[in-house]
Structure formats: C-alpha cells, structure tokens
C-alpha cells in the first residue's frame, strides 16, 4: 500500500492471469473504500494485509481511523467481486447506485447485462443455433474464468442505494458522485472539487486505452464523459482503477479525445477509399491493423464496431446486406 495523496491510500491487487486492480482507501474518522477488486483468496489476502498496514500506520500516529462504507465504480467483476468478503470482514455499509445493484445481485442479472442487440452482436448475421452455442460458451466462461480467475461473487444486500447524481460525505467532506458512462452504462465517478481529486474507475487509464467494445460500451457516451471530465473545476489528479495515477489530467483527457477523433477518421477514410465495393468490420480491422497480429485485431474489433454504430447513427455512413454480409458505404 502507499499514500498517494494525504489520507488517500492505494491498495494494488496484483495477478498473473489478470490485470492488477486498484482499490482506494479514503482514511479518516468516517472513511470509505472505493472499488472492491477481485474476490478470489489470493486477491483478498493481498487486500486485507495492506489494509491492516494502513490501520497500523494510523494507530502508530495516534490518528483516528475508521472506515465505515464501501462503494464500487461499476458492475464489472474485477470491481465488485470482493464486495461481500470486504464488507463482511470490515463490517462496512455497502453503498451502490440502483443500476449497479440490479446488475450484481445474481448470476441471471449479471449475464443479462452482457446480452448484445442485433447491431452490437459484432455485426455478424448469426443463425439461432450459433447464438445458442455462443451463449453456452459465455456461461461456461463465467464458471471457469470469472469464478476461478476473478473470484466472481454476487451481492444482493446493499445497505444504501444512492442516486447517480448525489453528494456523499466522506471524513466530513463532500464528494460528488456522478454518472460517467461509456466504458459501461452503469459507470460512476467520484470527485472532490476542493482537493481536485477524481476517482475515474475504468474510464481513464494511464497505462493504456480503456476497454471499449460490445455489448456494454458506447463511443458517443464515452466521448461525452471525457468532455464532462475536462470541465471539472480544479481537476488536479486522476486515480484510475488500473495502473499508475495520472498527474497530468488535462493533457491525458485531451489526448483521449484526439485519439477517438483519429479512430473515427481512420474508419471514414477506409470506407470512402473503398466506396464502390463497401467494407465489413473485418475488412476495416485488417486495413487499419495490417501489421498487427490476430490477437490485436480481435481486441480492436470492439471499438471498430462501436465507432461504426456511432457514425452510422450520425448518417456519415450507410450499411447494406449483400450476400448475407454486412458492408458499409459512404452516405
């Protein structure tokens, strides 16, 4: 653990087959934990060990240390799986928004949150039996990957449901909770204007671009969220859910928007260059990532699909189904 800002501590849960997770402890007389991390034994052992170190540090300094609540940024398994174990182990009150609470309450609700519509289903025309196979593999993946690697654990007994736009008091100071969709629709952020400190969850990461892909992400909403974050008064420090803290928030947010614009232009240029025959999402990925390996292309396909959805809605492109293949053309 390390104190990254006065009375704000970072606990990092490291893993071999999963990305490291950042959990934040806002220490004081009425503190809170932001995000709950993984729920497997190793991750929880790491958390409680580092939490004990924070508690010991405060006691050695004869300072008041009482953590009373825990809140999560969004309903992805690497952010809420440790919720039950941490809240039970530390006797914390669990604070959730209604959207997050409904998703993480049980297996059915969690699985339903990943159901894609016809467009977001990777823009492929699928037959019913293929959809059934895909759903079976998804459920199998939950049992093997999420359970064993992430320690997935649902939570259905929140102590308090708060509005997405609200003020919560942490250590006698007001912190603003506000919706920040894009990475996923239920995502929230936490901000203190006086300190200039933003807990950004998965929306802003220092080490890499955040995940944006079907079925949950939305490019237009993500861009709007980044613009809203740019307008936060006195923003000085961004504390992300993964990786190093961000000490240059203005430059980082500007770079994200420039990257999103660059990606859109790449798609439009490719479609206009091949305006006669049209391009499928796979064609676009191969053109833009011609020198990359298959894994990079698989990951990139998500943002390509989402960007296509956005610019089609803006009437910048149109699509046609030709020989059971979805192709895009200039409008």
Neighbours of 154 (CB within 10 A): 18
What pLDDT is stored for residue 324 in this prediction?
Answer: 80
This prediction has a pTM of: 0.90
- In a domain? residue 260: no
Torsion angle of the four alpha carbons 164, 167, 169, 172, in this order, in degrees rounded to the nearest 10: 160
Q: Are residues 301 and 234 in the same domain?
A: no
pLDDT beneath 70, residues of the chain:
16-17, 116-146, 207-208
Q: Are residues 102 and 207 in the same domain?
A: yes
The CATH number covering residue 324 comes to 1.10.10.10
- In a domain? residue 254: no
For residue 9, what are the contacts with CB-CB under 8 A and spacing of at least 6?
1, 2, 3, 24, 25, 27, 54
Neighbours of 298 (CB within 10 A): 12
- In a domain? residue 141: no
What pLDDT is stored for residue 207 in this prediction?
Answer: 62
What pLDDT is stored for residue 115 in this prediction?
Answer: 73
Burial 219-241 (b: 16+ CB within 10 A, else e): bbbbbebbeebeebeebebbbbb
Q: Are residues 216 and 313 in the same domain?
A: no
The CATH number covering residue 96 comes to 3.60.15.10
Q: Which of 193, 215, 247 marks a domain boundary? A: 247
Residue 291 lies in domain:
268-330
- In a domain? residue 261: no
- In a domain? residue 258: no
Q: Are residues 26 and 164 in the same domain?
A: yes
Burial 75-108 (b: 16+ CB within 10 A, else e): bbbbbbbbbbbbbeeeebebbbbebbbbbbbeee
> pLDDT tens across 119-176, in order?
554 455 444 544 555 555 555 555 566 677 788 999 999 999 999 999 999 999 999 9
Q: Are residues 189 and 295 in the same domain?
A: no
Q: Are residues 324 and 288 in the same domain?
A: yes
Number of domains the chain is built from: 2
């Amino acid at each position: 653990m390390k104190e990254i800002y006065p009375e704000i501590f970072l606990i990092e849960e490291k893993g071999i087959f999963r990305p490291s997770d950042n959990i934040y402890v806002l220490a004081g007389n009425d503190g809170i934990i932001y995000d709950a991390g993984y729920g497997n034994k190793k991750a929880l052992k790491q958390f409680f060990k580092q939490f004990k170190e924070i508690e010991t540090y405060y006691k050695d300094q004869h300072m008041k240390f009482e953590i009373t609540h825990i809140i999560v940024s969004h309903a992805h398994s690497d952010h809420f799986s440790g919720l039950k174990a941490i809240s039970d182990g530390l006797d914390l009150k669990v604070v959730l928004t209604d959207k997050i609470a409904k998703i993480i309450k049980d297996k059915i609700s969690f699985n339903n949150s990943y159901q894609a519509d016809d467009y977001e289903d990777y823009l492929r025309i699928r037959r019913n039996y293929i959809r059934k196979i895909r759903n079976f593999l998804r459920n199998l993946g939950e049992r093997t990957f999420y359970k064993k690697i992430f320690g997935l654990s649902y939570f259905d007994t929140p102590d308090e449901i708060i509005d997405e736009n609200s003020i919560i008091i942490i250590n006698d100071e007001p912190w603003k909770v506000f919706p920040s969709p894009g990475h996923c629709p239920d995502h929230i952020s936490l901000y203190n204007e006086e300190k200039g400190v933003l807990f950004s969850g998965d929306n802003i990461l220092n080490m890499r671009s955040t995940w944006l892909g079907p079925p949950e992400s939305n490019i237009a909403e993500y861009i709007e969220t980044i613009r809203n974050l740019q307008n936060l008064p006195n923003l000085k420090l961004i504390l992300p859910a993964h990786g190093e803290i961000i000490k240059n928030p203005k430059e980082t947010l500007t770079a994200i928007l420039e990257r999103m614009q660059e990606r859109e232009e790449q798609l439009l240029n490719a479609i206009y260059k091949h305006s006669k025959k049209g391009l499928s999402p796979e064609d676009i990925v191969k053109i833009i990532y011609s020198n990359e390996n298959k894994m990079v292309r698989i990951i990139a396909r998500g943002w390509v699909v989402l960007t296509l959805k956005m610019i089609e809605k803006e009437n910048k492109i149109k699509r046609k189904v030709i020989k059971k293949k979805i192709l895009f053309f200039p409008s």
